[in-house]
Amino acid sequence: MKTMLVATAALAAAFSLPALGQSQPEIGTRARAILDVDGLQFRDANGNGNLDPYEDWRLPVADRVSDLLERMSIEERAGMLLIDTLNAGCAGTTEGTRAEEMIAEQHMTRFILRNTIAAKAQTCDGRPSRSGFDVTARQMAAFANAVQELAEAQPSGIPVLFKDNARNHRESDPRFGIGGGAGAMTAFPKELGIAAAVLGTESMAPVEALTQVTAAEWRALGLRGMYGYMADLATEPRWHRVHETFGEDSDTVADIMEALVLGLQGGPVDSESDVALTMKHFPGGGPQEQGLDPHYSFGQRQVYPSGAFAAHLAPFQRAIDAGLGAIMPYYGVPVDLTHEGETFDEVGFSFSAQTVNGLLRDRLGFQGYVNSDTGIIQSRAWGFADATVPERVALAINSGNDVLSGFSDVGEILDLVEAGLIDEARVTEAAGRLLTEQFALGLFENPYVDEDAAGDIVAAPDHLALAAQVHCESIVLLQNDNLLPLAQGAQIYVLNADAGMAAEAGFKVTQGTADDGRSSAADHDAAVIRVYVRNTGTGDYRSNDPEWGANPEHLNPRTGEVWGGEDNCNVTPDLNASCADDGQIGGPGSPALGLLFGGALPWEADALSFTTMAEAQSWDIFPPLPVIREVMNEVGAQRTIIAIDFRNPYVIDAESGLRDAGALLATFGAVDDALFDVLSGQFAPVGRLPFALPDNLGAVIENASDAPGYAAEDTLFPFAHGLSY
């Protein structure tokens, strides 16, 4: 391995400080020389042996950006507008990846890095998943450094910025492009759990713990940008991405967004920022009609029946005011939306200059860059489904997107510039906004990380301790009929939770199973059941299959037609070279796309009660509802403790029998040891609901998608409900 040359010095000061107020930053290089000028050190980014203005860290960022833009070719500037997935190869190498081609030929400097961090590296004798091989923290850091070395050797030596979706959360249903989970990184509760802890502690301490850990672990891996967090409001209970939000309340979410910007960026992005945020999904992805998601064509409509659009904007405004660096618009199409006297065009938000330039920049005062959501060019150009790839690229860039996610063809942009369909000045403007972030983060001085230190920083003991506290704080006690806390030494029956952790909490434990040979819960002091819900059985969904999307027995109630097209091979086959004649990805016999990004079958999106989910094809309750009822009958309902892990505001309907439990708890990705700390009384519950829980399924179906909560008579537990002892 090449040795990285490092000049020992203090961290760089913020770029806005005057030259005399700055101190020598750390300089890191592998492919270029270090220049010594006036007793100071600088990175010779272009290798010409001279200290050019863009290489001079003493100058304001704006001056450095301006100088570099004048030196860059149109190919380099156009390449800045691209970002796509670049995963580490097996063992963290660049072998077998597109790294060299993407950097040298496509002139790209931004990549989405999706590999899962594992305690043990994946062997190289198998095929990687869509998220690449599992790699160790050290291997991830080594890969980041190897890519930075390739970039440093390019004519202008522009460093790479790696991004990914939020990672540091316990994810029970990881999904490509949505959330891969923490792997071996420190895992906090889900975002809903962070909100529950914030509401319960009445402080931002849970967010501060999350940002402290995330900042250290991401920086150690070379991840300096995040596709996150989601500022969307969970006002539509059926939307399958509710679990990634911080709940339904606009004020609470706005407070959290501000805290995230301050915690990860430290305010406006500068050399002391750890992770630059790209908040999403502007102008709020929560109000999805029928709860369907715009990753699929049948879910592209966003509706505002109660006129609450301003509430969805508020979290973004708070983040912008705090110094947010980047924003991502959603795929969705606003339907009948009028705000402050202006009616919005019914096209995907990313293709709407009215939304990006008018609302975001002119009205809200956003000064950063706009990062499109992934796949708007090939897959999800709602409102422009019939447009060609060049037309979509031109529309997206001219509408205000500065970088196109999931797109890596610089030739398309160059051709459009040559044809006069994109002004070169627009390319330069976008490139300047993007370069500003790379300069401000200090990447031009040192883009490299310490590979040997990465493994010690990721999941460090102090990080795990911070997460453990938040796990406990995130648990919500919904109801308690004098059952909790359980007495030390109580004989408990545990189903779908770790019996060892229960024993450590001071209980005598019988481990139950959901199998046919399950032992009885009778004669125990209490039964503890952890309940998880997920969507399943949707992998074979095909748009034009009479058993699936073209099934006449399942009609969209809004249109009266079959649900139809949602996958790339049927929606835009001419744009997807990997689609074979039979419409399957990768050729005949390969797996179908299915509902890759999650969610129930569209005709089962309403099935949010436990009774209907138990009967549905695409919902899975574990343990199964009949098994839960059996245990309740054996031990007695009043001695049953049910902890439901909520990814949506599920309906705990009377028919399910779950309401009869002696104690009900809500968790949001909390670990078992935190649950048993609460059940034993070692930690008194403080969490509060980040969304209201409906009393009946009708309330869900009749809910106004843009408004939080339900009528009082339709509410089982209100927003911010939570008991203690």
Candidates 613, 617, 614, 657; CA nearest to 637 is: 657
User: How far is 540 from 617, CA to CA, in rounded Å?
Assistant: 12
Candidates 548, 598, 542, 600; CA nearest to 571 is: 542
373 is catalytic: yes
Reported as half-sphere exposure (CB side, CA atoms, 13 A), residue 508 has a value of 7
Reported as half-sphere exposure (CB side, CA atoms, 13 A), residue 635 has a value of 31
On whether the CB atoms of residues 243 and 161 are closer than 8 A, the answer is no
Q: Which two tokens stand for residue 573?
A: 């086959």
User: How far is 712 from 32, CA to CA, in rounded Å?
Assistant: 66
On whether the CB atoms of residues 613 and 516 are closer than 8 A, the answer is no
Candidates 152, 151, 118; CA nearest to 135 is: 118
Hey, CA dihedral for 669, 670, 673, 678, is it positive or negative? negative
Please report which residue ranges of 74-224 form alpha helices under DSSP H: 74-79, 99-104, 137-152, 191-201, 205-221
Q: Which two tokens stand for residue 663?
A: 């104690």
Residues contacting residue 48 through CB under 8 Å, at least 6 positions apart: none
257 phi, psi to nearest 5 deg: -60, -45
The active-site residue, picked from 164, 255, 373, 567, is 373
Hey, CA dihedral for 407, 167, 319, 251, is it positive or negative? positive
Sheet of 161-165: strand order equals: 369-370, 326-329, 276-282, 223-227, 161-165, 110-112, 82-85, 404-405
DSSP string, 617-670: SSEEEES-HHHHHHHHHHH-GGGEEEEEE-SS--B--GGGSGGGSSEEEEESS-
Neighbours of 47 (CB within 10 A): 15
Host H or E run for residue 673: helix 672-679
User: How far is 218 from 631, CA to CA, in rounded Å?
Assistant: 43
Host H or E run for residue 511: strand 508-512
Active site residues: 373
